[in-house]
């Protein structure tokens, strides 16, 4: 059976705007509309950039419902449903599938530090329970555990596992993953600053933090590459590189929320233990944004 392909190009790892008393749904709706109008090919909701670890289950579910309703099928909605508790990940995955998410994004279980066998068992259980396609999310800097290329190869045989968000930053390992999963899984860059190298290896696109701030430009990076204009894509990658780096001066999504607040799109509010961006990083980020004409 041929696997479902979710998107090609740029997807935005969307922030969750906050107010003092909870999620700011008005700002969230405006962000979704702006992202879609800017040409992004999918939205990832309630994942790392969306502060999923500090959303209550009720908030998590409501944000997913809101995003699916607001998008009105204009772009696929990919629901973050991962957890360090496989049973909880299954519960959230089944909820997301039931309300119409186009796919789910499942991060490597964090804190527990499972073995590769444990990863295979956990992701298999989630994929068995899902009725929407599953994208695996490898980000060892946050989780403490990396999904090895051999493990991706095994998981690639599951009919409901369709892709990888690869944010390890380890290009030799990523190249080995491409070698092993080619034809089995779509691979997406999870690091903005490594987009072009992963596209060159056969990647299908990017799940982007920077696209929160510069959606049209990030879309252009992928579109130029897929149109055969590799030099043009390289120009965009290099033009955006200072911003891409600045958005990781402190832990994501601290800088991207500062940037969006400076643009007047959201309040600069995060859930503890995350706190607003500090100096001198804030000033450096804003200077880059000024140079780019964003503020």
pLDDT in tens, 93-136: 999 999 999 999 999 999 999 999 999 999 999 999 999 999 99
Q: Which residue has the tokens 């705007």?
A: 17
Residue 86 has pLDDT above 90, yes or no: yes
Q: How far is CA 251 from CA 100, 144, 171, in A?
A: 31, 16, 21
Alpha carbons 3 and 19: distance in angstroms, whole number = 40
62, 110, 165, 224: the catalytic one is 165
* pLDDT attached to residue 1: 59
Of the chain, the percentage scoring pLDDT greater than 70 comes to 100
Rg (CA), the chain: 18
Q: Is the pTM value of this prediction over 0.95?
A: yes
Of the chain, the percentage scoring pLDDT greater than 90 comes to 99
Residue 2 has pLDDT above 80, yes or no: no
User: How large is the average pLDDT for residues 147-152?
Assistant: 98
For 139-260, where are the E strands, in sequence order?
Answer: 161-166, 186-189, 205-208
User: How large is the average pLDDT for residues 5-16?
Assistant: 98
Written in H, E and C, the secondary structure of 154-177 is: HHCCCCCEEEEEECCCCHHHHHHH
Q: Helices 281-291 and 230-246: crossing angle, nearest 10°? A: 150
Residue 85 has pLDDT above 90, yes or no: yes
Residue 165 is among the residues annotated as catalytic for this protein: yes
Average pLDDT, the chain: 97
Torsion over CA of 254, 35, 79 and 115, rounded to 10 degrees? -50
Confidence of residue 175 (pLDDT cuts 50, 70, 90): very high
* pLDDT attached to residue 184: 95
* pLDDT attached to residue 3: 86
Report residue 128 as tokens.
Answer: 């068995």
Alpha carbons 116 and 10: distance in angstroms, whole number = 29
How many other CB atoms are there within 10 angstroms of residue 130's CB atom? 22
Residue 137 is among the residues annotated as catalytic for this protein: yes
Residue 15 has pLDDT above 80, yes or no: yes
3, 41, 62, 137: the catalytic one is 137
Q: How far is CA 29 from CA 46, 64, 68, 144, 173, in A?
A: 14, 12, 11, 34, 38
Task: Report all structural domains of the chain as residue ranges with CATH numbers, in order of start.
Answer: 9-227 (3.20.20.70)
């Amino acid at each position: 059976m041929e696997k479902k392909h979710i998107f090609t190009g740029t997807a935005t790892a969307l922030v969750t705007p906050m107010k003092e008393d909870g999620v700011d749904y008005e700002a969230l709706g405006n962000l979704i509309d702006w992202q879609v109008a800017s040409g992004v090919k999918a939205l990832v909701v309630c994942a790392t950039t969306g502060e999923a670890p500090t959303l209550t289950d009720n908030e998590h579910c409501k944000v997913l419902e809101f995003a699916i309703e607001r998008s009105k099928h204009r772009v696929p909605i990919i629901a973050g449903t991962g957890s360090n508790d496989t049973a909880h990940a299954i519960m959230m995955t089944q909820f997301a599938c039931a309300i119409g998410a186009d796919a789910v994004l499942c991060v490597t279980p964090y804190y527990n530090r499972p073995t590769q066998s444990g990863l295979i068992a956990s992701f298999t259980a989630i994929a068995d329970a899902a009725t929407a396609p599953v994208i695996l999310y490898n980000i060892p800097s946050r989780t403490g555990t990396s999904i090895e290329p051999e493990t991706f190869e095994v998981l690639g045989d599951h009919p409901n596992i369709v892709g990888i968000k690869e944010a390890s930053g380890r290009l030799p390992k990523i190249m080995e993953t491409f070698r092993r999963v080619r034809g089995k899984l779509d691979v997406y860059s999870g690091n903005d600053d490594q987009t072009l190298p992963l596209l060159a290896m056969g990647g299908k696109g990017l799940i982007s933090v920077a696209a929160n701030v510069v959606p049209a430009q990030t879309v252009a990076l992928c579109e130029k590459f897929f149109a055969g204009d590799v030099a043009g894509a390289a120009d965009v990658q290099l033009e955006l590189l200072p911003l891409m780096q600045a958005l990781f001066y402190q832990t994501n999504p601290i800088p991207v929320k500062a940037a969006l607040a400076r643009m007047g799109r959201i309040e600069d509010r995060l859930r503890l233990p995350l706190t607003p961006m500090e100096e001198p990083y804030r000033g450096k980020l804003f200077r880059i944004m000024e140079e780019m004409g964003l503020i």
